Structure 1
Amino acid sequence: MRRYLEIKEELIKIVAEMEPGKPLPSRPHLCDKLETTRTTLDRAIQELEKEGVVYSKAGSGTYAIGILQGKVDTVENWGVIVPSISEEIYSLLTRGIENIACRRGANIILCNSDNDPEKQKYYIKRLLLAGVSGFIIVPIISYNVEVSNILYGTLLKSNIPFVLCNRSVEGIHAPTVRSNDFYGGYIATKHLISKGYCSIAYIAQTIYSVSIERCQGYISALMENGYEIDRSMIIIPYEERKNGVYENMKQLLSQEKKPDAVFCFNDKVAVNVCRAVQDMGRKVSEEVGIIGYDNNIYASVNHPPITTISFKSMEIGEKAAEILVKLIRGEKLNSNFNEYLYQPSIVERESCLGKGKK
């Protein structure tokens, strides 16, 4: 037998004892252990790469994909469906998923639903036909519970494991990893109260589970501190309109009782609220404090930079992927609950330093 083939067989034995995604020992170490030259070792590794037993990353090393009963495992493919990868929270979430997939030796097939129920349905069906090992899905914002239940019910019946991120689906009991939106709304409002603001509004672009939970946190913080709940200060439209947030904020600033601070559903909303405040001749922070949510680029580059709530998107993606790996392996989850919550935190900037403060 040619020497590189002997080395190849020895490497297969090593990989067979390794978990997928784990790095092989360094090549100098392998040369010493197997008593071979670097050229012979490299040729054996190249053969194993072609066969899908290992893969190499430039500057990082060579990693195991997996061996089962003397044969190469089929490489796992995960279906990942998000509303839009162009949104920073979803690009970070996907990066977290990718971190775990890489260690596992799995591929991810990324799809954008654009919050369109038909696109989400199409991608789920296509990925099922493609034979993916599992799904990680950020559900669309949907008001039709029956349609959602039929879609995810089909997924449950397929016996393909899946994990939901960022929001749950009513009536579907599946592992869900998300931010604690109630707590996020609570700490955002508490922060504004601590800075001396006393007439605090809440604005979202549309009504759905997450915007309601953040609003509930906002209400809880107000009540805890003895503030009356003024429904004229809560803006959650049933349908999202172009420039709706901007116009709603201008209307709030034109009414008799004006807000001196605003908790915004997300940073995009906060940027539009900030623009409305400035266009109405008011000073952000000094006259109207603003706090956003998600900690994305919109908040950090705004003038002034907007205080926000960190969503922990990458951590959520990593946790969802770790759960999916366990489900694919047929392992039981440690928790008695299907929901895994991450506690958000405040990122302080310059948009709500306190009334009268620059």
Structure 2
Amino acid sequence: MAQKTKYNMVKEQITEWITTGQVKPGEKIHSENELVKMFGVSRHTIRQAIGDLVHEGWLYREQGAGTFCSDRKTETGLGSAGQAGKRTKNIGVITTYISDYIFPSIIKGIESYLSTKGYSLTFACTDNDIDKEKQCLQTMLASNIDGLIVEPTKSSNFNPNINYYLELEQNKIPYLMINQFYSQLAPPYIMVNDEKGGYIATEHLIKLGHKRIIGLFKTDDLQGVNRMKGFIQAYKDHAVPFFQDMIINFTTEDQDKSLEALQEILQKEDRPTAIVCYNDQLAIKAISILRTMGLSIPNDISILGFDDSFLTEASEVKLTSITHPKMKMGEEAAKWIVAAVEKKSKPAPSIVYEPQIVVRESTASVAVTKQ
């Protein structure tokens, strides 16, 4: 990763002072001389950073008095009709990824509702990286958003960016979390019952006669942790014996290692007869490994994914998967945030969707010879 420039370090630090409340609206910031000594940089670097922050609306200058912190809540612009003093309401959306997976459908659902209400949308993506999430939150606060829909980053861990969410609360800017949530904040959220999803996925395979089922679960996201819980509970409820290699855990950074571990396990004589994958993307990668090993799906091994994405139909063998509401989730999230912003009606409480299994060609009964 490229090293931060001195200019960016100065700009980010001043922004953090503002977003954390160390410098409040209307308060004067340090003088150029003080900032030069504080950061150990040139006067030109300080002026460049201050100039950008003024342009972006974080700061404002008063001739002969100095530079002050802006009150972003009182800023106005031109409304959709071009009338002075009216500003189009703006909703921020932060997701972990933006790709051809389920996220475009979620965003489409959000956009489809917000556009009917005359709202604009500011979008950002974290790539499931904590530092990028911090930058996204700073950008949202600088954009004078009226509400925020956010998919948390690495939600099973403590999040060091909690202070930005607390600032949203202090400024009475409503926010809603989707797919997962930060337990430290106990925020409103819309998500799938992932634990139940893990349970019904594993139970489906158990009822097909599988006794050696392996699970691949991402553990730095709450979704993966909950899906793993359901996986384990199904083993318990159906009295299926546990075995040493039944779970492969991985994080955002080491997914490829999990696939290497899967390949090693599949080379063993007592290899599993079925696989539950964290999501459809991972399942497709696992299918590729099975094919290179000469294993037939589902005759030699059954495999199951999550999210019921377009990928379930993209493979030669159609993938059994657990449903995810996608566009409906986006629409519900947009309705919730608009209700919270306009305060015309009390937003609905948190929503949890009950998942279902969509059975396709990738799962089948254990062959008699394998029992």
TM beyond 0.5: yes
- How far is the alpha carbon of 1:77 from its aligned partner? 1.1
Shift of 1:143: 6.0
Question: Is 1:52 aligned to 2:63, yes or no?
Answer: no
TM-score by length of 2: 0.72
| Root-mean-square deviation (Å) | 2.5
Change (3 A) 1:51 1:251: closer
- What residue number does 1:265 align with? 278
Structure 1 residue 199 corresponds to structure 2 residue 212: yes
Alpha-carbon offset, residue 141 of structure 1: 1.3
Structure 1 counterpart SS, 2:275 = strand
Partner Cα separation in structure 1 for residue 79 and residue 239 of structure 2 = 67
1:303-318 matches, cutoff 5 A: 303-318=316-331
Q: 2:160 maps to what in 1? A: 147
Query: CA offset at residue 194 of structure 1?
Result: 2.4
Contact 2:148 2:175 in 1 (8 A): yes
On the 8 A contact 1:305/1:349 being kept in 2, the answer is yes
Aligned residue among 351, 354, 357 for 2:365: 354
In structure 2, the partner of 1:275 is 288
CA contact (8 A) 1:205 1:240 kept: no
Structure 2 Cα separation of the partners of residues 142 and 350 of structure 1: 33
Mean Cα deviation higher: 183-192 or 241-250: 241-250
- Distance verdict in 2 for CA 1:180–1:333, change over 3 Å: farther
| 2:131 maps to 1:118 | yes
> Equivalences for 1:22-37 in 2 at 5 Å?
none
User: What is the CA deviation profile of residues 262-315 of structure 1, one whole-angstrom value per residue up to 9, with x for unaligned ones?
Assistant: 110001111122122222222111111000011223332112121111211111
Give 1:129's aligned amino acid. Answer: A
- CA distance in 2 between partners of 1:346 and 1:181 (Å): 12
Contact 2:156 2:222 survives alignment (8 Å): no
**1:325 equivalent among 312, 333, 338:** 338
* 2:177 counterpart residue number: 164
What's the offset of the Cα at 1:328? Answer: 0.4
> Within 5 Å, which residues of 2 pair with 1:33-44?
none
Match of 1:183 in 2: 196
Q: Percent identity?
A: 27
* 8 Å CA contact retained: 2:211, 2:241: no
- The equivalent position to 2:122 in structure 1, one of 83, 86, 109, is 109
Aligned structure 1 segments of 4 or more residues deviating by more than 6 angstroms:
none
> Retained in 2: the 8 A contact 1:205–1:245?
no
Distance across 1 between alignment mates of 2:165 and 2:124: 17
Within a 5 Å distance, the mapping from 1:121-132 to structure 2 comes to 121-132=134-145
Aligned 8 A contact 1:222 1:229 in 2: yes
Q: Alpha-carbon deviation of 1:146? A: 4.9
Match of 1:341 in 2: 352
Pairing partner for 1:235 from 236, 240, 248: 248
**What is the CA distance between 1:353 and its match in structure 2?**
2.5
Q: For the Cα contact (< 8 Å) 2:153–2:221, is it kept in 1?
A: no
How many residue pairs get aligned? The number is: 291
Gaps of 5+ in 1: 1-49, 55-66
238-247 or 256-265, which deviates more: 238-247
Q: Which residue of 2 aligns with 1:250?
A: 263
Partner-residue secondary structure (3-state), 2:287: helix
Offset, 1:318: 1.1
Cα distance, 1:229–1:332 mapped onto 2, change above 3 Å: farther
